[in-house]
Amino acid sequence: MAAWRSANVLVALLVVAAAWIHPGVFTVEGNNAASSPFPAIILLGDSTIDVGTNNDLITVIKSDFPPYGRDLTMQLPKGRFCNGLLVTDYLAQDLGFPYQIPYLQRAGQEQKLLTGVNFASSGSGWVNLTADTYNVISFAKQVDQFKDYKKELISMVGQTQADNIISNALYVISTGTNDYVLSYYVNPLVQKKYSIPAYQQLIRDTATVYLQDLYNEGARNFALASLPPLGCLPAVISIYGNKGLGPEGCVAPLNEVARAGNDVFRHVFMPKLERQLVGSKLVYLDVYTVLFELAANPRAFGYKEARKSCCGTGLVEVAILCNPASFGTCDDSNEYVFFDSFHPTTRTYKLVYDEFVWPVVKAAFNF
């Protein structure tokens, strides 16, 4: 208990981790019930889709302890920054797959690699600075791990079948928030070197390199998540206080940065890159819109609270600051838009999935 209480030395975590349903208890076992238009789901990104990559890393950006995972089967934390399932867990369910295992935890579970894998590492972003600072796995290293994964598939099932899995799999990428909240806005040197437009161009240039690299290895089907409304994250609201608050109670300047970045990413960057990567499909997953609507008018969607999170005081708790000793943690996560000060509850993830992920993926890939 004392160890948990000493976590105040890690107040720097107030700017940690990217944020991105049903009430009740959720399973993490998965199933193989339905046929899928994709042979596998491959996940890359940050804490919005990480299911335990960081568990074995020496980093403060972890969530393999209560109250995280408290609504999963037997209330066992698995390394998700949530009380239950994530958007990509629901996607796996609907496509008939077991949940994708963290690549670093594949020992003894190699057969599961045939239906996909999860490389996502909490605290990472498109730009490597954040990941290096917090000793997590950068997006660049995730791509390197993907190349190793491809070699393992070839050794397991042969070149032809491995190529089929790689080229027809769905690649879900959710990252970018940490490039702002864990890098740009907390690092004066980065701010001095880059204006916001220049920094966003750096992010797009970096993303181009990684997506081209994945394409060169055979990847073709990409679903890319947008930035969330950065100014609506409880930790950001706590840090900024009343400065720059819009009528909905969010920090308007940060939301404008996210909106501007999303607009260029969606309407300029992705169409251009899709033309460049011949035979590819890039699908935009708009998580900004629904999260902003929930934050602006939570009661219209059956929530009681959007400014504070469920964990602890609801103001700053995230990662090891959200722990069994966090005083004030809510009893009912379904009343909150956010579970910790950066990450949504499972109920919120399910709303995002139902409204802006599953219908979009089905329509884009014609199934």
Active-site residue list: 47, 340, 343
Residues 6+ apart with CB under 8 A from 229: 250, 254, 255, 258, 288, 291, 292, 295
Q: What single-letter DSSP state applies at residue 338?
A: B
What type of residue sits at position 141? K
Query: 346 near 333, Cβ under 8 Å?
Result: yes
b/e per residue 76-85 (b: at least 16 CB within 10 A): ebbbbbbbbb
C-alpha span between 68 and 352 (Å, rounded): 20
Instruction: Quote the tokens at residue 74.
Output: 């037997």
Residue 174 belongs to what H/E stretch? strand 170-174
What type of residue sits at position 352? V
Residues 6+ apart with CB under 8 A from 188: none
Phi, psi angle pair for 314, to nearest 5°: 85, 5
b/e per residue 175-198 (b: at least 16 CB within 10 A): bbbbbbbbbbbbeeebeeeeeeee
